[in-house]
Amino acid sequence: MKSKAPAYFLLLALIALFLGMSFGMLASFQYILPEFLKEVLPFSKLRPFHVTSVISWIVLCATGSIYFFLVYVEKFKLFSPFLAKLHFVIFLLTGIAIYFSFIFDYTEGREYFAFSPILIMPILIGWIFFGINYFKTLYKNIRGWPVYFWMWGTGIVFMCYHLLEAHFWLLDFFRLDFIRDFAVQWKSYGSFTGSWNMLVYGISIYLMSKIKKDSNLGHSKIGFFFYFLGLANLMFGWAHHTYFVPMQPWIRYVSYAISMTEWIVLASIIYNWKRSVLKVEKENHPMAYRFLLSTDLWIFLNIILALLFSIPAINFFTHGTHITVAHSMGTTIGINTTILFSALFFILKNLYPEFETDKKWIKRGYVSFNISLFFFWVSLLIAGGKKSYWMYVSKTGLFSEMQASLIPYYISFFIFGIGIFVSLFIVAFPVFRLFLLKIKTPEKTGL
Ligand code: HEM
């Protein structure tokens, strides 16, 4: 009997995604009607609920996918299925504790880790367990590792460090020096994102190589170039988070160049793969293939945005507006989430080869997801642009007047947010149902 931990992680990831989107929808409704639920669930509470849940979706789905690939596709004997189960239980209980921490206002943490800082301990322990299991399972053939194994291993190690780093502010040495505190805090968030990107981008290369049944992709020069670029980005690409900190200009330029190049290389890898993949290979994994095409499209759209606002003179105007939110959600939904849905469909096909993923409803959900996301993103960009214009260019009229002029864009943001929720629900429903079935009746899937 093999480990069921991957399926547990994937189910929990989907639950976190839909809970997170529900919080997001409530929060976006408060843009339109600020008084809505203000007493019970003010925006200041909904935001951390939303952000923590959706980031958990990315991390849990990446973790579950990696466990799954190792055990079920690569057929490695997991070093310790028990440790994997413990890893899951720790994350589940910590997730519940984080929600309680938000409900009862134990929110002395910061920004993306607003929960009580003590809860970072079990999270770290979970990552260490994952690391032990990962390296103990794979270390024997390290010489021939394809690039995605390197990416996952690196992501796990750096995740442990950056989670710690994000809590350095607890030490007086950091907290009592504003510049040091600010720089380290935002650096750690940038690198935290870089660490999960290592996991998720590694998954994208893995999927491309498996769908095409071409192991060369995992050993290609361009793949390894991408890995080192990602590593450099993880270590130095945070500078666009710290534009307000006095620092050497070259640090910003280097970081800016690296982060853009990383995306361009990933986009070109997907583009070349798309051109070379055979019809029959696409037909074997139609939805996994389609979601990777979306990734390519969303990388392209996000590059245009990021190219513009990474220029310090433009960043000055966009910082703190909805344009930044468009960037965060454009990338976490458009790039991370599409790769992860591709992984979910690939896994589904592995578990139930006879299941037809190319169903009319799933395809419709996929199309409406992309359309909704596009208008959702554009609404945020326009709202951000208008606010920035009022703050820095026109400088006329009251704040309340400017806010009132943004209402139409907030409404469209809210409506297309619902569009994303419903579309992903249609797409994810069969995946969720079949993963659940796998846990309940393992004999049907050979577990
Ligand atoms: C896969 C789904 C989603 C992901 C991964 C995601 C991710 C994120 C992230 C990372 C942020 C933090 C932004 C920042 O700090 O700059 C954010 C904020 C937010 N998201 Fe989402 N999001 C998702 C879906 C949604 C949906 C469906 C809605 C509903 C309309 C929504 C509404 C919001 C709102 C209102 C904020 C707060 C923005 C602010 O601070 O003003 N999100 N989201």
* DSSP calls for 64-89: HHHHHIIIIIS----S-HHHHHHHHH
d(CA 447, CA 435): 12
The gap from C-alpha 272 to its chain's centroid, in whole angstroms, comes to 24
Statement: residue 308 has pLDDT above 90: no
SS3 4: coil
d(CA 306, CA 311): 9
pTM of the model: 0.94
Q: Which of 44, 47, 323, 325 most suits a substitution to test ligand 1, by most atoms within 8 Å of the C-beta? A: 325
Q: Does residue 414 have its Cβ closer than 6 Å to ligand 1? A: yes
H-assigned helices in 69-142: 81-103, 120-138
d(CA 63, CA 343): 11
- Say if residues 117 and 167 touch (Cβ distance below 8 Å): yes
Longest Cα separation, the chain: 69
Q: What integer best gives the mean pLDDT of the chain?
A: 92
- Say if residues 213 and 281 touch (Cβ distance below 8 Å): yes
Q: Does residue 325 have its Cβ closer than 6 Å to ligand 1? A: yes
* pLDDT tens per residue, range 198-248: 999 999 999 999 999 988 999 999 999 999 999 988 887 777 676 667 777
Q: Does residue 319 have its Cβ closer than 6 Å to ligand 1? A: no
**Residue 73 in tokens:** 């596709």
**Ligand 1, closest atom to CA 421?**
27
Give all strands (DSSP E) within 177-249, no chain letters. none
Cα angle, residue 281 at apex, residues 280 and 287 outer, rounded to 5°: 110
d(CA 403, CA 386): 10
Q: Does residue 324 have its Cβ closer than 6 Å to ligand 1? A: yes
CA of 51 to the centre of ligand 1 (A): 6
Percent of residues, the chain, with pLDDT higher than 70: 97
- pLDDT category at 312 given cuts 50, 70, 90 is low
Residue with CA at minimum distance from ligand 1 atom 31: 24
d(CA 70, CA 212): 18
Q: Does residue 337 have its Cβ closer than 6 Å to ligand 1? A: yes
Q: Does residue 333 have its Cβ closer than 6 Å to ligand 1? A: yes
Q: What was the pLDDT predicted at 240?
A: 66
